[in-house]
Amino acid sequence: MSEYEVRPNFRRSVAFALAGVLLSTVTSGQAHELGWLWSSDISGTATVVDGDTLEIRGEKIRLEGIDAPESAQTCGRAKGGTWACGREAADELAKLVARRRVTCRNKGFDKYERMLGVCSVEGTEINAEMIRRGLAWAFVKYSTTYVDVEKEARGAGAGIWQGEAEAPWIYRENRWKVAEQQAPDGCAIKGNITENGQIYHMPWSPWYERVKVDPAQGERWFCSEAEAKSAGWRSAGLR
């Protein structure tokens, strides 16, 4: 959902280098068992965080090249009215990966240390399929890989293309502008403490308006998502 910026991951690079040294000292059988240490790809059963983010074995994977509507976002219908396109995108992604083995090719890491992946399940590439079904945009700010797939979906009036729909990067920008005007020092991210731990809410979170920040309870405001993550708080995912 949120934007990403591809950047080298020094910590992971060091880990892979150390793993290479380790593997050079063990037997071939042991190396096979330890291969996961240096492999840049990942596969396994996936859970859905939101419409363009998966998690496999504790690894957050942002689907590279696409941007799905935010969880609280609605889109227009062809004959009027709206539908919960953000939640439906997440639900459709969950159906695609449900109880199946998902394989993701590593395309780098973003500034939040999420893996950027091109993922597939039973021969179907998930990134392209989400756009084909009209449940995500081609994220042309970072990749033009899926521009042609998006054109097909637009021509078919699939999903988000059946009526008026605001691109998620514009939706996020507008929500942020409104929230920062009301937040202390323009720091619009709400840090909330619950029984599930320290969770932060972006202005486009479906629970944002309901969350009240109580500094007396250790809750706080953040100026950026990177700041929240570095302080040890985690995102309020859709699921």
Q: What is the 3-state secondary structure (H, E, C) of 57-123?
A: CCEEEEECCEECCCCCCCEECCCCCEECHHHHHHHHHHHHHCCCEEEEEEEEEECCCCEEEEEEECC
Q: What is the distance between the alpha carbons of residues 161 and 131, in angstroms, rounded to a whole number?
A: 10
Residue for token pair 């109580």: 214
- Contact (Cβ atoms closer than 8 angstroms) between residue 145 and residue 130: no
Q: Is the pLDDT of residue 237 over 80?
A: no
Q: What is the DSSP letter of 180?
A: H
pLDDT in tens, 67-88: 999 999 999 999 999 999 999 9
Q: Is the pLDDT of residue 27 over 70?
A: no
Across the range 164-186, mean pLDDT stands at 95
| pLDDT reported for residue 196 | 85
Q: Is the pLDDT of residue 51 over 90?
A: yes
- More confident position, 214 or 8: 214
Considering 21-25, 32-36, 113-117, 120-124, the range whose residues carry the highest mean pLDDT is 120-124
Q: What is the distance between the alpha carbons of residues 188 and 98, in angstroms, rounded to a whole number?
A: 35
What percent of the chain has a predicted confidence (pLDDT) above 70? 82
Assign 1 a pLDDT band (cuts: 50, 70, 90): low
Strands 115-121 and 59-63: parallel
Q: What is the distance between the alpha carbons of residues 125 and 69, in angstroms, rounded to a whole number?
A: 19
Q: Is the pLDDT of residue 28 over 50?
A: no
Q: Is the pLDDT of residue 9 over 70?
A: no
**Cα angle vertex 1, ends 101, 67, to 5°?**
85
Q: Is the pLDDT of residue 194 over 80?
A: yes
pLDDT in tens, 127-163: 999 999 999 999 999 999 999 999 999 999 999 999 9
Mean pLDDT of the chain: 86
Across the range 191-198, mean pLDDT stands at 93
Ordered by where they begin, the domains of the chain are 39-165 (2.40.50.90), 169-235 (no CATH)
Q: CA 24, 26, 32, 36 torsion: positive or negative?
A: negative
| pLDDT reported for residue 7 | 56
| pLDDT reported for residue 140 | 96
| pLDDT reported for residue 238 | 58
Assign 112 a pLDDT band (cuts: 50, 70, 90): confident
Across the range 166-185, mean pLDDT stands at 95
pLDDT in tens, 87-108: 999 999 999 999 999 999 999 9
| pLDDT reported for residue 16 | 42
Cα distance between the two ends of the chain = 13
Q: What is the distance between the alpha carbons of residues 33 and 35, in angstroms, rounded to a whole number?
A: 6
